[in-house]
Structure 1
């Protein structure tokens, strides 16, 4: 009976201690990265001795550490931050910029990655158009048609590009599809110089694509972000703005991948 009466109190005390620890950690901001023990106690509304007990618990576990004139966040916080970033997959990192891009251009946004002679759609964000394009997660696209495919091939290792292009004849989908390996190589050189790929009618006569490379922390191109739209929905005068928006989205994702893997 005695054990049962003491357990709830101990449980409440553990919760109280955890809550106080979180309250202390949440005090630290970019504007005030260092707090004195007296300031922390005042913010918590507890006696100074009680405040120091919470502080010492956090110091002993590495969540905060002593600094000049007070305490600052400790190495354990930064380790947890690194682990949290590492736990994010490419799609998790890419989705916020993808949503922002879709809202800006009001067109379908694709996240793609190359797999041998194919390109795989990892994820997409669709606009609110009544007419939607037939893309879905896991959709497999050819390597020689469309802006996303050409971006992924443009920054691949030249030996790997040769292997991909020489394995088998390239398939034709429309009159604009490049099936000559040398012509496609010339296109890839142009794409690398431009930094983006723009294609129209290579996979489907009516589809316009704009793509940009996504780079990982090492600087290697690991994926592509692109928009796919009915060509009639993007006037030629707006194409440069769309291209800039796609490029900015790719840069935002690349930056987040660099932070994740830092």
Structure 2
């Protein structure tokens, strides 16, 4: 195998390991090898090889027969993540609360982790109908307003590699996404209609730190309670909120 091919193979293996770890969440804290292999579309033999490496490094542990869970190593990593991201989250939290108080819908702080969008904080709507996904849950980078804002922040070559890696995207859809993303790069925000959950409208704007997009501020809620005037007002709240967080990051 040539050296470039070996590097590509190594990068793909590393990506698979990271995707494997992201399959664990609060809803499913333990997973079986066959279950994980099916979720990631890989042979069981490969899955057992990855699980063996993760066990050796102490990142997962076996519980019961053929079931695995994340080890306590991730408690330490979670503390490190909170410490490293504290300035962003501290700057964003009062803005999230203010936006919810103003518009009555759920506000979200979303970051990009590799080729996933991840909610790192949220303030819920006081209404009974709310969003279903939880902080920490990975999402695609091409569905939803916050995801596309983060997709737009990626270098062009990496963005194209990501879009090419999504098998369900047809060429026309991929081209339309590229066009949409170019608009987001220019204006810094976008909205979505029912892309992640049916009947849910969302709007998100880019948060920057020293000129670099580091997160997205988003609001999402059911269309039946968001008339055009409500959406227009919420768009302005999100844009100004993202600008407020950006200013706070630039100052400190």
Q: TM-score range by the shorter chain?
A: 0.5 to 0.7
Residue deviations 1:76-104, cap 9 Å, x none? Answer: xxxxxxxxxx9943211110111101111
Please name the residue that 1:127 is paired with. 125
Give the whole-Å Cα distance in 1 for the aligned partners of 2:105 and 2:89: 18
Which whole-Å deviations, capped at 9, do the CAs of 1:128-165 have from their partners, x for residues lacking one?
11222213211221111100001111122111211211
Match of 1:144 in 2: 142
Higher Cα radius of gyration:
1
Cα distance between partner residues in 2 of 1:87 and 1:201? 30
Deviation per CA, 1:169-210, whole angstroms, max 9, x where unpaired? 2469xxxxx982211101112223333111101122211010
CA RMSD of aligned residues (A): 2.0
Which of 189, 205, 221 is matched with 2:198 structurally?
Answer: 205
Number of the residue aligned with 1:227: 219
Q: Please give the TM-score of this superposition, normalised by the length of structure 2.
A: 0.63
- Aligned counterpart in structure 2 of residue 183 of structure 1, from 176, 189, 193: 176
Cα separation, partners in 2 of 1:139 and 1:171, compared to 1, 3 Å: farther
CA contact (8 A) 1:215 1:254 kept: yes
Which of these residues, 217, 235, 242, is aligned with residue 243 of structure 1?
Answer: 235
Residues in 2 aligned to 1:164 and 1:224: alpha-carbon distance in whole angstroms: 19
Gapped regions of structure 2 (runs ≥ 5): 1-83
1:11 counterpart residue number: none
Does structure 1 conserve the Cα–Cα contact (< 8 Å) formed by 2:118 and 2:139?
Answer: yes
Match of 1:214 among 207, 212, 215: 207
Q: Of 191, 195, 207, which aligns to 2:188?
A: 195
Secondary structure, aligned partner of 2:245: helix
Whether the aligned pair in 2 keeps the contact of 1:170 and 1:179 (CA below 8 Å) is no
